[in-house]
Structure 1
Amino acid sequence: MSEKVLMKGNEAIGEAAIRANCKCFFGYPITPQTEVAAYMAKKMPTIGRVFLQAESEIAAVNMVYGAAGTGVRCMTSSSSPGISLKAEGISYLAGAELPCVIINIVRGGPGLGGIQPAQSDYFQATKGGAHGDFHMPVYAPSSIQEMVDLIQEAFDVADEYRTPCMIMGDGMLGQMMEPVEFKENLKKRDLPEKTWAANGRMGRAHHNVINSLFLKTEALEEHNNHLGRKYAAIKEKEVKYELMNTEDADLILVAYGTTARICKNVIKLAKEKGVKLGLVRPITLWPYPQEAFDLTIGNTKHGYLTVEMSMGQMVEDVRLSVEGRKPVHFYGRSGGMIPTPDEILVKALEIVGGNK
């Protein structure tokens, strides 16, 4: 077993990407993810790989398009407003079926908002985030260790399905420090050869062309149908979630990322008051783990309480998953405010009726 090292979240992202064989990084500084780019700027040139600080977020994501088109693993990172600027390029990447990893260390919004942690980019990440009919896998780690592990997962899923993947953390995960182990024994996927890459003829009778433009409507519809079949396969095979104390609960909390860590403390506080709380923690935000609700719907007396650092975004997917079978409640803080265990507990006790 390799030793654990104490690292800041943003720097651990960079190291994990390097160990996942990321060959190119293109980015632009924005708080609270700037240390990702700073780490890559320091390390990538020393090992013969490419770091380039682009002139803008728009330039950075289009550089990713070019590098990914050659078949090499590449990554970009940003924070909320910067991801908005990358949106057109992300849609192009999805349309051209180019694998890459996109890091979003979320800050408060809308607009320039603030630089404190938030989860208010959920809609943007999971409902497309740009134009056209497309999805991308979105991972929501709740610790630096999980973030590191999911970097490898995201690169592998990107290559297997030829799709951009997003790791969506928040400013707290990016800035905090935790012990982390860079595991050498992570499960390896049997990945397809990149015969589609535009990297010279390589013995082929033709050049490969990377493109997302279809001028014939019939051809574009067939391409959308092809993408739809791919997304259906991802939804079937790549869902991740965690269940905690959901076998017999007065109320089940639903939270992801940093908020899920806080909710685990709420479960302990509630137990002291004789109230049984459970937790559904989505790890993939897309595809969303609807099956977690099918598994737990009969085990909760008072339904679900969705807790988010937003005005209420994931709660819509919770309601869609519950399908009216149990009540769905919401508690959120926004603008960079982080919910405390005590205030979540007050809301939970209000729903279950004090000490039941």
Structure 2
Amino acid sequence: MRSTNNSILIKHAYYKRRAYAIIANVSLIAIVLCICIMMLLYGNTNYSLDVVIRVLRGENIQGATFAIATLRLPRMLSGLLVGIAFGIAGNTFQTMLRNPLASPDIIGVTSGSSVAAVFCILVLGLSGPAVSIISVISGLLVSMLIYLLSKDISFSGSRLILIGIGIQVMLQAAISFLLLKASQYDVPGAMRWLSGSLNGMTMKGIPTLFIVVMVFGIISLLFTKYLQVLELGDEFATTLGIRLNLVRIILILSAVFLIAFATSTTGPIAFVAFLAGPIASKIVGRGSSNVLASGLVGALLVLSSDMIGQYVFSTRFPVGVITGILGAPYMLFLLICINRRGE
């Protein structure tokens, strides 16, 4: 009788937690949609919702069509997609390595894409799709190098984080060297890219980014149950019959593709990948999958930070500056907490 009551209580707690997670995700979707609509409505010139809908349907309205379809829509879609990509990728690394510091922009993955992009802009004089392609390839190669260097007899998350931080420092030094040696006329363009910005976004690159985010985002969602098991430790995962190396490679490749394509589109938007996962975990609660929530929080951080940077201050700031201001205090707080726990 007691075991039956316990079983009922466990099922009740499970369904209650699941319902809460669903409500949290739906609420996040609603908030993100509201911010997306606000980005289309408000700017130097404000337009009504009716005008925005007519423009999106293809109607040509003088002034509004250019402002909404050419400027605001690509900016909004880029922010939405790169936010989802950064959020999901950051959560994947943090959960799989069981460390909140294991964010792609801290362990060198983002810098792998950045150093190639800066080299292309400053040394080769390239721009547009060529920079994006080389940036993605570089991000993949650096991620592969980090993984191979961290793999000894067995995989070690702590070793990967330490090696990643070392490579991150080395790549940042390389970027600084390129900036110092570059022509003063080329540096502003590289600096704008490095700060992480949605300025100058066009619809040309949106389809590719959308496909990448959809494909690798869905893969991450499908592997959620494996990710949750990996969080409990390798021994537990092996006991359940999970093929650790295969699952890790799939998850790492999915996260790296998301990060590389997002970084090649807007530049390295600081701390979005670092913040999204922990915030999403707080929102959906422990024991629930936070992959979708992490993507939504990432989009929320990028879109809201872009609006703050554009309209709150007298000077317009790139989105990466605002996310950096938000993320730096949290990182210091996290380091203090880890130090106090003796980790």
TM-score range normalised by the length of the shorter chain:
under 0.3
**TM-score under structure 1 length normalisation:** 0.22
Q: Which structure shows the bigger proportion of residues in helix conformation?
A: 2
**TM-score under structure 2 length normalisation:** 0.23
Q: Which structure shows the bigger proportion of residues in strand conformation?
A: 1
